[in-house]
Each structure stands twice: as C-alpha cells, then as structure tokens.
Structure 1
Amino acid sequence: MSEWWTYALSDFLLFSPRTYYRLFELYNAAVWPGQVPALALGGALAALPVLRVSWGGRMAAAILAVCWLWVAWGYLYTRYATINWAAEYMAMAFVGQALLLVAIGVLGGRLRFGQRPWVGIAFVLFAVAVQPLIGPLAGRTWAQVELFALAPDPTAVATLGVLLAAQRVRWELFVLPLAWCAVGGATLWTMEAPDAWVLPAAGGLALTVALARAVTGPRSCAAVESRGSPDRG
C-alpha cells in the first residue's frame, strides 16, 4: 500500500472532470428554455438596487430564495448527487440559505439597499453575464456553461453581490455563499481546472468589502436608521 503522502488531491475525487462537465451539459439540455427566465431574474437583481423602491429588498430576497431552492433540488439533489454522495448535504444547506432569505429578507424586511450599491451590482453582473463565459474560455463547451439561478457557483456569487448592495452587512446571509465559494473552488482546483481561482477570488473580495464596511460603516448606518430614512428596498 502506498503511503498517504504519495496521493494527490485528484486521487480523492469521486468523479472525473469529463463526468462533471458532462453533467452540466445534460442538465442544461434538460432545463431548456429555463436559461431565458434565469437570465431575466439576474437582470432584475442587478436593477433592483438602482430602482430604490420600498419593496426592492424583499423582491431580491424572494428571487434569491427561489434560485437557491431550485439549485438545491434541480441540480444538487437530482443530478449532482448521482456522482457525489455529499451533494445531498449540499442541497440541504442550499435549502437552509433559501429559508434564511425568506425569514430575514422577505418576511423580516431586513435586506434594504443602500445609496451606493455599485460594488454589489458589479458582483451581480459578473455572476450573471461574465462568470458563465469563463468556463468556455477555460476549455469547456458552450453547452456546459453554468448560469445564475440554475448552477450553484454563479448563484452564490450573485447572492454575495446583493448582500454587498444592502444598506447593512447581514452576516447570517453571508456564511453559506462564502462557504460555497470555498467548496466549489476546492472542487475545481482538485480537478486542476484553469478557472478554479474564480470562486475563491470572488468570495475573498466579497468578504474583504463586507469587513471594511462593517468596520467603517456602523455609525453612519445607525445615523441613517435613527433619522427614519425610507426603506430603500
């Protein structure tokens, strides 16, 4: 028997990169034309912080909750679990994130957009319009792209964007998207994928921005709320 230090990370992978990418190809074919409303939902998420309507935050939380629920069932539990036994637990985590979004953002109304949501909007636009293009540039076929609302990676990044556009940092909603950035990045890194850096970079940048806001912004946020500013969404 070989010693443990002779193994590479790829030796512990439960599936081959070809199988992993083929799974997305079959999934995209099965859910067509679901990609069209998925892109529309992504566009709505990018627009809501700019509109500054009173119900914008609730609507964004509702959209994200639906997306996390769909990814949990439509991809993780139904498809990814066929090649990775841990996907069932991942699906439960995604359901948990959806419930948090409903409780905090929809029912609680505590996800309100700030006056300077541009960094968050940039994250959302990246997840919806740019991130799906990175896969083909890294060697996948166009049939294997991962789209917001259908695949976990861009859904997690877009969620971070919405949270960064919010008036206050809601750490309870950050945990699972950040965790997925680590898990998804580790999976791609194990497969030696050229785009393995994307998720960890997005998660790290989002965490840095959120920490900076938490350190510099509490007093200003409290002042805004004490003046009874209108709900920005």
Structure 2
Amino acid sequence: MLPFTRDQFLANLVAYNEAIWPAQLSAFALGLLAVALLFWRPQIADRLIAGTLAIMWLWTGVRYHWLHFAEINKAALIFGGLFVAQGAMLAYVGVVSNELRFGLGSGPAASVGIGLVAYAVVLYPLLGIWTGHAYPQMPVFGVTPCPVTIFTFGFFLFAKPPMSRWLLAIPFIWSLIGGSAAFLLGVPQDWLLLVSGVVAVPLVLACRSDINLEGLKS
C-alpha cells in the first residue's frame, strides 16, 4: 500500500515539472548528446557520457526526490540518497577515473541497449501521452527516476568490460521499487522499468563473464 494516492502523485508531478521548467529541455539535449557520442567519438566521449548519466542521477535525487517527492512520501529521502550515491559513483568511476568505456558493439546486449535507450528517449513520452499522461502530468525524460533508470541500463549495455558491478546495484533496486509502484499508480510507460533491470543486469554480467573466460584461455 502506497502512502499517497494516484491523484497526489500526479499533482506532485505537475508541481515538479512546472517548478523546474525548462530543465526538461536541457535534459533531453544531454540525452541526445550522449547518444550522438556513441557515433561521434572525441577523446572525452566516454567521460561526457558518464557525466551526463551522473548529472541525471544527481538531479533526480536532489531536485525530484528530496525537494518534491518527499512532500508526499517520506521514503523519498532514502530514495534520493540512493540516486545521489549512484550519481556520485558514476562521476567518480566514469569522469574522474575514466574507467567507463562505451561503444555500440553487437549482439543481444547491444540490441537490448538500443531498445532501452530508444524507449526512454522517444517511446516513453509518446506512450505517456497516448495513455492520458500528457505534460505536465507525466514523468519526463532525464529529470525523473524511471526514464533515467531505463536510459542508464541502456548505456550500461553499451559499456565495454570491465564495468564495476556496484554501478548496477542501485538501478536494479530502483527498477524493482519504481516498476512495482508503476502498476499501483497506473503509469504504463513505467512498466518496462521492472523488466529492464531483470533483463539488463544478467546481460551486463554475462558480458563480464565472457571477457573473464577469454582472459583465462589466453
């Protein structure tokens, strides 16, 4: 049982979207830049992609969870802490240490990654509008937890091994929390979130295992 009603959730989303406008446009532009960097490969491409993901997680943790969602759900204080922690890890591993490498690649992981990124950026808002959640009464890409998590899983499937398993923990936890709540709140565009964690995490770990096995054979 959720500590708030569906109407309270939607009203909170409206207030949040109106308060942060036009940050949504900046988030969308950052998302498109991250996608473009998979093809256009300047020397700092990987750092820019990791930095984009870090910004989205930090923003969502502070601005959405702590400053808005906490008004109707005190658990958002914990959720915000998880998102801030994930943003800090992405910033350290991907930007400071430059230990994240991205590339389109091929195979099942890359195919699922493309599907998740396309869903988060394009299909997510279209499905929201189609099901009656037009702006501002909708979770928006880049600044709300569920599309940020789906988008991140997509990019993790583009990550070249080795990738720290710790980076998978918080997105997976949120895929279970946010995905389950989506059914209770009637937000069908978030239903894929529950699937994304269950599918993406094993694929990322399988890629790590393949690399480890190749290393043992050589």
Which TM bucket (shorter chain)? 0.7 to 0.9
Where do 1:163-178 residues align within 5 Å?
A: 163-168=156-161, 169-178=163-172
Q: Are residues 1:162 and 2:155 paired?
A: yes
**Matched pairs, number:** 212
TM-superposed CA distance for 1:116, in Å, is 0.5
Where do 1:53-68 residues align within 5 Å?
A: 53-68=42-57
Instruction: Specify every segment of 5 or more residues in structure 1 that has no aligned partner in the other structure, as ranges.
Output: 1-11, 227-233
Q: C-alpha deviations, 1:3-56, integer Å up to 9, x for none?
A: xxxxxxxxx211111111121112111111122111101101111122233321
Q: Which has the higher contact order (CA 8 A, sep 6+)?
A: 1
Counterpart of 1:88 in structure 2 is 77
Greater radius of gyration (CA): 1
CA distance in 2, matches of 1:44, 1:195: 23
Counterpart of 1:150 in structure 2 is 143
CA distance in 1, matches of 2:115, 2:36: 11
CA distance in 2, matches of 1:98, 1:194: 26
TM-score in terms of structure 2 length:
0.88
Q: Is the 8 A contact 1:114 1:166 kept in 2?
A: yes
Instruction: Specify every segment of 5 or more residues in structure 2 that has no aligned partner in the other structure, as ranges.
Output: none
Of stretches 164-173 and 81-90 in structure 1, the one that deviates more from structure 2 is 164-173
Match of 2:130 among 130, 137, 140: 137
CA distance in 1, matches of 2:150, 2:104: 21
Match of 2:212 among 218, 222, 233: 218
Q: C-alpha deviations, 1:120-170, integer Å up to 9, x for none?
A: 343222211211222232332332122222101111111111111111143
CA root-mean-square deviation: 2.1
CA distance in 1, matches of 2:3, 2:26: 32
Identical counterparts, % of pairs: 32
One-letter identity of the residue aligned with 1:138 = T
CA distance in 1, matches of 2:202, 2:41: 25
Q: Are residues 1:206 and 2:193 paired?
A: no
